[in-house]
Structure formats: C-alpha cells, structure tokens
C-alpha cells in the first residue's frame, strides 16, 4: 500500500508538471463521461418514474376486443351477458371480468353543461392511487346498479369549482347521479392527460342508462401477472364457443405494453450511451498518445530508475498509475457535470412523469468503472513500452 501511495504521489507530480497538457488531454474524458452519465442517469430516472406510476395502477388488465378486420365483425360482437360466461370459463385464472364501454354524453351540474366521456367500471380495485375525497365504486353499487359516479380530478374542479363535489348530483343523459368520490390528481402531466376527463359509473348502471348494445371490450384482471397471455387465449376460446369458431378477437395486454415501453427507453439509452462511448474511446486514445509522449520525454529518467534497481514491474506500475490518475480526474469531473445535468433534466421531467428516482450509487459506480477501465486499457501499452526500454540505451538518449 505504501508503494502504491508513493506511485500515486509521483503520478500526480508528473501530471502537475505538465498541467496544461494534462488538462487538454482530460477534456475528452470529461465530455465522454459527462455524456454517458447524463444519458444513463436520465434514462434510468425516466424509467423509474414511468414504472412507478404504472405500478400504482395495480394489476394491469387484459382487454379482449372484436377484430374489426374480419369479414363480419357484427357476428363476433361481445354481448353484455358474455362477461359472465367468460368469467365462468376462466375460473381461477382471472380475478375479475367486466364489460367495458366508453361513450360521450351530456353532463350537467347546476348551470355548468359539457360533453364528457362516461366510462363503465367495476368493483375490483387493487391499485395504490388515492381519492381526493369520497370513495370508490364498490360491489354493492355494481350489484344494485346504483346511480352513483366517480369523477377524475379535472372534472371535479370543472363541475364543482367550490370543492363540494362529493354528495352533490350530476345529470348524465337526463339521469341524476350522486357523486361519491373524486380522484386525486395523478402526478405528472403526461399521466394526468391520459387519465383525465372521465366520469366513472358502475357497468350495470351504464348498461341500464345508456343501453349501449355490444360492449366495447372485456376487461379481465389476471390472477397472476405473468399469466396474461394464457388468460387472453382462454377468453378468446370462450367467446368463440359462444359466437362460433369464425369469430375473431384480439387481445391487448397492458403489462406487455408497459414492458415494451421500458425496453424502448432502454434501447434508446444504450444507443445514446454508445455515442458517448465513442467520445470515451477518443479520450482513451488521447491518454495513450500523451503517455507515449511522456515516455519519450522521460527516457533518461527511466534509464536512471532501472540503473538503480527499478524492475520492469515498477516502471509499468508507475506509468500505468499516471494514466489511471489522468483518467480518474477527467472521469470524476465528467461525472459531476453528468450528475448536474441529470438532476436538472429530472426536475423538468418530473413535471411530465411524476416522481423520478435518480440512481446515484449506480451512476458513481459506472463513472468510476469506466474511468479506471479507460486508464488501464489505454495506459497499458505506453507503460509496457516504458518498461521494455533498455537501460543502457535509455541513459545514452
């Protein structure tokens, strides 16, 4: 350890003697490290925000819809009663099966009138999202076909600007609906936009009030997250048993969509990191070049060291230590810049995606790993070249 510290001290002294040259050499390392850390940190933070928000939605459902590309899609239309048949066929594979509709209807509260989306829903909830006030639709509401509704946060503010939504009434298609709850605003404008502007009512009530005809889709919650594909196939088989083998359906797996979205983000991050990696390779070549120059300039010094007993290993370690120190300093500065960029970008993205988690420990580990690797890989050849010098020839130079 004492010998390593001595080599470290010598390396720092050697770099300081040629500080202008060392700083210029480190620029490539700084730029490469900063770019990789920024891209890696931002992508991981964005992925954590997206994954965390989707996780708050609980078990992601499988949606079964009529394939509109078939010759006679009307023959495959899913009837309201089919939901119970499919639920019986799935058995323990599914936790809940519910018919789903979405229609635009005229909604009124006092003097406020607007056309908004009315969406059917069931009593199954295993998410961790919160209500701003009131409660959710429960099994009793669904069983009795109660005239109750739940509003998203934006509609709660729109129809009841004074905040007295729960306990008040809306008129939907001429029917009075009691507002029993208002959802809390989801953090992040991206998710708030795709989950806004809806009035939720029990699907039994939706069927009675709107008489909408065939359901838009069957929403099925698998009993196991990894069993979505099997649930989709079983649901299609049950529907084809009802409507005939020629009826065609398609399955939309929400969990697979989230996984694909994460994979796309990871691929983009890898691609951009590879671009930053090119800058690191260029920086490594710069380090190799400057170390070769240093070996040439210090040939006589190397000869003297060998003459007084320094081994090849000692010379190799000395010059390798200089390359690693040069790389570490550049990588450390680049890491600081990259972390600053990541924090700034995360603060902006949090407005779109909600709370983001920055993996600081992973970022530091990656930065140190890359820095040490670049120093060792590109510093090895100059160090071996220095160690291979003949001491007699070196002293004559």
pLDDT digits (tens, 9 = 90+) for 118-149: 999 988 877 767 788 889 899 999 999 999 99
Residues 394 and 89: beta-carbon distance below 8 Å: no
> Does the pLDDT at position 194 exceed 60?
no
Structure tokens, 277: 């990696």
- Per-residue pLDDT, 193: 47
Tell me the three state secondary structure of residue 122.
coil
CA–CA separation, 379 and 324 (whole Å): 7
Q: What is the pLDDT of residue 82?
A: 92
Alpha-carbon span 375 to 186, nearest angstrom: 46
* Residue 332, C-beta contacts closer than 8 angstroms, at least 6 positions apart: 367, 371
Count of C-beta atoms within a 10 Å radius of residue 242 = 15
- Nearest Cα to 380, choosing from 333, 334, 318, 332? 318
pTM, entire model? 0.66
Distance (Å, whole) CA 195 – CA 153: 9
Residue bearing tokens 């899913």: 78
Three-state DSSP class for residue 266:
helix
DSSP letters spanning 62-113: EEEEE-TTSS-GGGGPPPTTHHHHHHHHHGGGEEEEEEE-EEEEEEEETTEE
68, 299, 327, 389 from 315: Cα distances, Å: 75, 11, 19, 10
Q: Tens of pLDDT along 61-113?
A: 888 999 988 888 888 999 999 999 999 999 889 988 999 999 888 899 888 88
Task: Quote the CA–CA distance of 296 and 291 in Å, as a whole number.
Answer: 9
pLDDT given at position 189:
46
How would you label 74-110 residue by residue, b for 16+ Cβ within 10 Å and e otherwise?
eebebebebbeebbebbeebbbbbbbbbeeebebebe
d(CA 397, CA 395): 6
pLDDT tens-digit series, residues 149-180 = 999 888 888 899 887 889 999 998 888 999 99
Q: Quote the percentage of the chain above a pLDDT of 70.
A: 91
**From CA 55, how far away is CA 43, in angstroms rounded?**
18
What is the length of the chain? 397
11 burial via Cβ count (<10 Å: 0-12, 13-18, 19+): buried
Average pLDDT over residues 243-254: 88
At residue 45, does pLDDT exceed 60? yes
**Among 179, 189, 211, CA closest to 105:** 211
Residue that is written with structure tokens 């603060």 in the block: 347
pLDDT value of position 3? 66
Q: What pLDDT is stored for residue 47 in this prediction?
A: 75
């Amino acid at each position: 350890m004492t010998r390593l510290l001595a080599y470290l001290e010598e390396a720092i002294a050697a770099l300081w003697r040629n500080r202008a040259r060392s700083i210029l050499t480190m620029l490539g390392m700084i730029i490469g490290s900063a770019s990789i850390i920024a891209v890696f940190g931002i992508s991981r933070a964005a992925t954590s925000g997206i994954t965390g928000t989707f996780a708050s939605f609980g078990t992601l459902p499988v949606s079964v819809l009529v394939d509109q590309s078939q010759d006679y899609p009307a023959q495959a239309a899913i009837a309201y009663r089919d939901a119970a048949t499919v639920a019986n066929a799935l058995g323990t594979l599914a936790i809940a099966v519910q018919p789903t509709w979405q229609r635009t209807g005229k909604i009124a509260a006092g003097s406020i009138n607007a056309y908004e989306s009315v969406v059917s829903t069931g009593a199954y909830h295993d998410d961790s999202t919160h209500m701003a006030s009131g409660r959710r639709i429960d099994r009793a509401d669904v069983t009795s076909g109660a005239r109750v509704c739940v509003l998203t946060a934006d509609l709660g503010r729109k129809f009841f600007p004074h905040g007295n939504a729960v306990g008040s009434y809306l008129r939907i298609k001429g029917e009075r609906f009691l507002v029993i709850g208002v959802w809390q605003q989801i953090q992040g404008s991206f998710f708030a936009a795709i989950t806004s502007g809806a009035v939720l009512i029990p699907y039994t009530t939706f069927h009675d009030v709107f008489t909408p005809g065939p359901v838009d889709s069957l929403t099925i919650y698998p009993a196991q997250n990894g069993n979505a594909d099997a649930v989709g196939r079983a649901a299609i088989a049950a529907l084809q048993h009802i409507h005939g083998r020629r009826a065609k359906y398609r399955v939309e797996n929400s969990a697979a969509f989230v996984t694909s979205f994460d994979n796309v983000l990871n691929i983009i991050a890898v691609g951009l990191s590879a671009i930053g990696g090119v800058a690191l390779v260029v920086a490594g070549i710069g380090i190799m070049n400057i170390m070769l120059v240093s070996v040439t300039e210090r040939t006589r010094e190397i000869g003297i060291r060998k003459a007084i007993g320094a081994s090849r290993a000692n010379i190799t370690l000395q010059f390798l230590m200089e390359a690693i120190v040069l790389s570490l300093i550049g990588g450390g500065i680049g890491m600081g810049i990259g972390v600053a960029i990541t924090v700034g970008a995360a603060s902006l993205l949090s407005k779109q995606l909600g709370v983001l988690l920055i993996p600081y420990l992973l970022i530091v580990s990656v930065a140190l790993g890359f820095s040490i690797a670049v120093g060792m890989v590109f510093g090895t050849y100059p160090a071996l070249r220095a160690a291979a010098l003949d001491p007699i020839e070196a002293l004559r130079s």
